[in-house]
Chain A
Amino acid sequence: MNRIHMALLAVPALLLLSTQNAYAYLDPGTGSMILQGLIGGIAGGMFAIRLYWGKLKSRFGRAPVSASLRDAEDAPNDKVR
């Protein structure tokens, strides 16, 4: 997982170096939508892994470790992009 994090840190690190004008008063929220597109795949993947891990643990008779897993199990198991 750490390697994925490092790779993802490289993208914003490059962004840090670039300079652009910000007209935040015009932004309809496109930035946060692009962000979701960028991180959604990874976040969804990690969500699926946690879900799988939680199920594996409960099969061996151990309770899920956190509340997030409880909700993860209730949620529909979509195909990860």
Chain B
Amino acid sequence: MTAVEPGSFRDPSGQVFENDGRIFRTITARALADYTFVRDSGVLRRLVDSGRLVGAEEVDPALLSDGAHGAPIVVEHPRIPFVSYPYEWPFPALKAAALFHLNLQIELLADNVMLSDASAYNVQFIGPRPVLIDLLSLRRYREGEYWVGLRQFCEQFLNPLLLRAVLGVPHNQWYRGSLEGIPTSDLNRLLPFHKKLSWQVMTYVVLQSRLEASANDKGTADAGAIRRKGLSKSSLLGILTQLRGWIEKLKPADTGKTVWGDYARNNTYTDAAEEAKCRFIAEFAEAVRPKLLWDLGCNSGNYSAVALGAGASAAIGFDFDQKALELAFDRAVSEKLNLLPLFQDAANPSPDQGWKQAERRGIQGRRDADGLLALAFEHHLVIGRNVPLDQTIGWLTGLAPRGVIEFVPKDDPTIQRMLALREDIFDGYCVEAFTAALGAQARIVREASIADSGRRLFWYDRS
């Protein structure tokens, strides 16, 4: 059965289809000249070989069971392990994607190739490594042309980064509600006057926002004249390298301690407990060898790293703490881990949204995990968000057929801290209730106490 990828309706140059788990892309007649230029100049091969463009092998169009809709060329792409969106990326991931886009464009200009847009959704991550997934955004550079993607680049990459770098506000929640990115005019209104007194902010936020407004007032009369005037290639390269130099230096403004940032180094465990926990997870990963492991409450990625070292192929980490996610991302880069840490609030996960509510998928509808880690996690839902214990366990075991869940007892210092200023309404919260609820959903393969912490690990299997 051939199904059109619901997010690929915008570009008339081609569409993405899924057929029996394989991913195909049609290239229509209107995109043929650009595609053959990029292919025949060797650019396509070079980008694929260096891992910067997702693989694309031409196949017989008849492979698409419903036909290629008259498209002269069909290519097959390998599947990306897990599709993620910019509103889920932590700051360093969005920054890596922005620099990836700029570097790619700067390099491609030497080959006379231009990126036709600057959509952040065209970048995906394999582990912490960005890769372009849309080969149809590569086209021949036309002498004197403007960078048509600048506005989109600002809204989808630069402005969300500035939100955090200048104001200390993470981009994720706003971006999730505003799928096309953070409008420059909105950012301009938010920035206090003293933050505008930098050359780059003045140019790309204040001036651009004013120019957008005045261009609207004047209508399209100016557009033709501007287009005819043109922009030299060195000016284009100048703008691209200037933006790159600026973005390279951006870092979060709120560098103070966050709740979990120091957790991995400074937690409530003793070394013996930590060692026991790592051993349990390693044994689970070695036995189950998950292809896609979800690590809920991944913190700085410690246990994902253990699981990846013991037999898991790829891990997606989820957390709502920005600092922890940043540490996890940096760690995945420096230790070359196949780990992608993403922002996610388990009590309010990414929904199906966009056009027809199908363009961007909810977190659970994307791809099933075959292994789950939920360590020191369940109490944040049960105690922190009042989600009933059986619902929490039902949801967790529903995410993957096999996994490890850690139970945290009520007398644990972290729960004591959570209850310090509120009434304890969790009368039935105990290890017996947890065991019964888990036993109702899955077989408990093994359980182990973590040293003398009172915490307990449960390895479940519902397959």
Q: A residues bordering B, Cβ < 8 Å?
A: 5, 8-9, 11-12, 15-16, 18, 20-24, 26-48, 50, 66, 68, 71-72, 74-81
Sample of 5 A–B contacts (CB below 8 Å): A32-B212, A41-B235, A44-B232, A44-B234, A78-B232
Q: B residues bordering A, Cβ < 8 Å?
A: 103, 106-107, 109-110, 146-148, 150-151, 154, 183, 185, 196-197, 199, 202-204, 206-217, 220, 222-223, 226-227, 229, 231-239, 241-242, 244-245
Closest B residue, CB atoms, query A45: B238
B203 and A81 contact, CB distance less than 8 A:
no
Closest A residue, CB atoms, query B218: A30
Q: How far is the CA of A75 from the CA of B237 in the complex (A)?
A: 8
Q: Are A78 and B233 CB-contacts (below 8 A) given A27-B212, A32-B150?
A: yes
Q: How far is the CB of A77 from chain B (nearest CB, A)?
A: 8
B216 and A29 contact, CB distance less than 8 A:
no
B226 and A15 contact, CB distance less than 8 A:
no
Q: How far is the CA of A37 from the CA of B206 in the complex (A)?
A: 16
A28 and B226 contact, CB distance less than 8 A:
no
A32 and B211 contact, CB distance less than 8 A:
yes
B199, B217, B237: the one contacting A5 at CB < 8 Å is: B199
Q: How far is the CB of A38 from chain B (nearest CB, A)?
A: 7
Q: How far is the CA of A39 from the CA of B154 in the complex (A)?
A: 15
Contacting residues, chain A, for B231 (C-beta < 8 A): 36-37, 40
Q: Are A39 and B213 CB-contacts (below 8 A) given A15-B206, A29-B148, A44-B234?
A: no
Closest B residue, CB atoms, query A74: B110
B209, B222, B234: the one contacting A30 at CB < 8 Å is: B222
Contacting residues, chain A, for B214 (C-beta < 8 A): 20, 31
Q: How far is the CA of A43 from the CA of B234 in the complex (A)?
A: 8
Q: How far is the CA of A15 from the CA of B151 in the complex (A)?
A: 19
